[in-house]
Amino acid sequence: MAKLYFRYGAMGSSKTANAIMVQYNYQERGQNALMLKPQLDNRDGGKIVGSRSGLSAPCRFVEELDKIDLKLYDCVIVDEAQFLTKAQVQQLVDIVDQLNIPVICYGLRADFRGELFEGSQWLMAWADTIEEIKTVCWCGRKATMIARIVNGEVVKSGPQIVLGGNESYVSLCRRHWSRGELASEEIRRISTGKDAFLPLLLEADPSEMMIRRYLDDGELYTLNVHGRSACVAVIRRTGGSEWELMNLATAPDMRGKGYGTRIMNHIIKLLAPRCNRLRVGTSPANVGFYERFGFRQDGLRQHFFAENYPNPIYENGQPLDDMIMMSKLL
């Protein structure tokens, strides 16, 4: 007999990656698994499910179920199932009970206020099998709650769903969620929603057009202080085992506290196993900073600043022209 499964976990518990792997396993056995998500969730720009790990897969919307010939499928997988309505969960129950097709739902249990989502409520009530996918809080305990963070503060009221806002979410254990306590300092890699960091990235590179050239395929790291991004760095592989630091920016009110140094040390350690040479292009004022990490000047990109930026960039009253190239062997 087919079953309805609800696999729930907090943010960052690899729910979407799990969903994609299950679909892949069906395909490997020569079977079809239908990937669905509620239409409400359009963060990934439409008919695609995407995980933080970078895996993605095409999908259909739950709202289209009536138009899909389910007889062609051996399994139905639903990502972001917390956003289902009660009626849609009922529809999934019918698929299991009437068509004998297993349905596997992945989603969050509760919202940032600690209240059940509609989809999760009915999946909890009706699923045959309920499984938890675990992830950890910054303190190392199991994270069961999600916190909404706006300007570095944990917010516990407001509408359940805000799409495209400037807030971010993090998973916490219940104790730290209750107290609204975020890690005093932690470094995270950001794979989705990089645009939220544009204002900070523009501090170091004043052209959004230039930032767009490396943001998508670059690796973005943020050093968060009590949930707020104090410093960001973007690195990108430029060929073979050579990498380039494309952007390193600290929020204006967070400067002089050593955050830039900490994220640099982190990146150098992180890259060591996969990188022989780390390069950076910079301006005269920052040469001393990079020399402290062992970078040496080894070239110029002539007129780079003058030719690639729509407006002149001034540093200590002088317009920047050549970019100074530095590198460090790892």
Active site residues: 80
In angstroms, the CA 117 to CA 8 distance is 11
170 vs 248 by CB, closer to Zn ion = 170
Instruction: For the sheet with 33-37, list strands across it.
Output: 60-61, 33-37, 75-78, 103-107, 4-8, 129-132
Question: Residue 141 CB, nearest distance to Zn ion (Å)?
Answer: 5
x/- map, 164-183, Zn ion, by CB under 5 A = ---------x--x-------
In angstroms, the CA 4 to CA 129 distance is 7
In angstroms, the CA 180 to CA 114 distance is 12
Question: Residue 182 CB, nearest distance to Zn ion (Å)?
Answer: 10
Q: What type of residue sits at position 324?
A: I
Q: Does 231 bind Zn ion (CB under 5 A)?
A: no
99 vs 155 by CB, closer to Zn ion = 155
Region near Zn ion per CB under 5 A, out of 18-26, 61-69, 129-137, 265-273 = 129-137
- Contacts (CB under 5 A) with Zn ion, residues 41-100: none
In angstroms, the CA 204 to CA 34 distance is 44
- Contacts (CB under 5 A) with Zn ion, residues 130-159: 137, 139, 141
141 vs 301 by CB, closer to Zn ion = 141
Question: Residue 150 CB, nearest distance to Zn ion (Å)?
Answer: 20
Total residues contacting Zn ion (rule CB under 5 A)?
Answer: 5
How would you label 13-33 residue by residue, b for 16+ Cβ within 10 Å and e otherwise? Answer: bbbbbbbbebbeebeeeeeeb
In angstroms, the CA 109 to CA 158 distance is 18
118 vs 186 by CB, closer to Zn ion = 186
What single string gives the DSSP state of each residue in 70-118?
GGG-SEEEESSGGG--HHHHHHHHHHHHHH---EEEEE-SB-TTS-B-H
Question: Residue 55 CB, nearest distance to Zn ion (Å)?
Answer: 27
In angstroms, the CA 75 to CA 22 distance is 10
184 vs 302 by CB, closer to Zn ion = 184
Q: What type of residue sits at position 246?
A: M
Question: Residue 142 CB, nearest distance to Zn ion (Å)?
Answer: 9
**Are the C-beta atoms of residues 326 and 312 closer than 8 Å to each other?**
no
List contacts with Zn ion (CB under 5 A): 137, 139, 141, 173, 176
